[in-house]
Amino acid sequence: MEGARALFRQCPLLLPQDRHGMAYEGFVTAQGRDFHIRILLPMDFQLKNARIECSWHLKKILHRYQHILKQRLHSCPDLVSFMVELKTILEIALKNTPDLHIPRPPEYYSCLVRDLEILGWNKVAYVDTGLATVKLKAEDSSGRQHLITLKLNAKYPTEPPDCLVDFPVQFAVSWMPQNSLTDIYNQFLAALESLKEFWDAMDEIDGKTWVLEPENPTRSATTRRIAIGNNVSVNIEVDPRHPNMLPECYFLGADHVVNPLRIKLNNNMHLWDPEISLLQNLKDLLEIDFPPRAVLEKSDFAKDCGICYAYRLDGSTPDQVCDEPRCGQPFHQACLYEWLQCLPSSRQSFNVIFGACPYCSK
């Protein structure tokens, strides 16, 4: 009896169909929607052998979660626990099914269309056929184009849409039920201007140096691996909130090449000037000129791995270099680690492996 009450509290629309409690039929509710379902329990009441029947609509929504549902059927001690799990999975499935047409009240559409007209259709880059996803475009004061994707639920404008942006920091919307798309758009513009200096600094690096990684940086990317010379580079991590401060720097290359650079960076750190650009500061501190894009090609720095003879391996580039000055051959870390593990002469200390270079045997 207590189990029946608990089930009724969780799923008031799911009712027993027989006096033994072996068959239940009704509806399970998620995100304000009711889905028809029928559950048939075996004679031993073992959930793992239960049979679940539902509408084609619900079956389509839960298609990608079948293996999870089977696991829950095996692990849940009773039907109440399983229905709690089912409702949770259904909530997740509904959120992750963007192409699912969800009927919305007429006032939702009238409110959304009114907001778009007030905002201006010239700011709209895309609207899906169900009027559930809207992409707005904007240009910052440096002329860069940006998009914000809005995922609206049926309760808009009582609840704010989910906002997806290509930002290096979190974009949190301040929202009240009386707000509109114009308020989100204005907050989007303000956030763009707050990140202007960061993007200016990264654009200068992308435009005036050879960036080895990432190959096609997004606006949210805060790292750059910049070529300094043949098989030597510096990886910088820039704070998007303080782009004019000294970034985290990590040098990649043979020790005899990168050690002097580390020393210069440490000795000249006090010379960092937040009034000049990030790139110029790096040049001054390291006492170098980065190879210019106008003179040299990227292939002058993007050397293939000496083991797999490829430049990119699962998205990574060669980042290990032989310390022998006359060799300097680069390798992927994964390739080199696997190679050295196969050599009987190699030795390993914790997670560091020591061995001979595959090229020069040093």
Domains of the chain, by residue range, sit at 1-100, 106-198, 209-302, 304-361
pTM beyond 0.75, yes or no: no
The sign of the dihedral angle between the CA atoms of 325, 230, 319, 309 is negative
Domain boundaries 1-100, CATH class? alpha beta
Domain boundaries 209-302, CATH class? alpha beta
pLDDT tens, residue by residue, 41-70: 888 778 788 888 887 778 888 888 888 888
User: Is 209-302 the same fold as 106-198?
Assistant: yes
3-state secondary structure at position 101: coil
Top-confidence residue, 236 or 342 = 236
How is domain 106-198 classified at the CATH fold level?
A: Ubiquitin Conjugating Enzyme (3.10.110)
Residue 122 has pLDDT above 80, yes or no: yes
pLDDT at 255: 81
pLDDT tens, residue by residue, 269-288: 999 999 999 999 999 999 99
Fill in the amino acid letter for 348: Q
| Tokens at 68, concatenated | 């999870």
Mean pLDDT of 71-84: 85
Which range is least confidently modeled, 4-13, 148-157, 162-171, 350-359? 4-13
Burial class (CB in 10 A: 0-12, 13-18, 19+), 61: buried
pLDDT band for 16, please (50, 70, 90 cuts). Answer: confident
3-state secondary structure at position 143: coil
pLDDT at 295: 64
Domain 304-361: give its CATH code: 3.30.40.10
Top-confidence residue, 186 or 72 = 186
Top-confidence residue, 274 or 153 = 274
pLDDT at 164: 93
Q: Which residues are within 8 A (CB) of 203 and not within 5 positions of it... i.e. 6 or more apart?
A: 142, 144
pLDDT at 27: 85
pLDDT at 101: 54
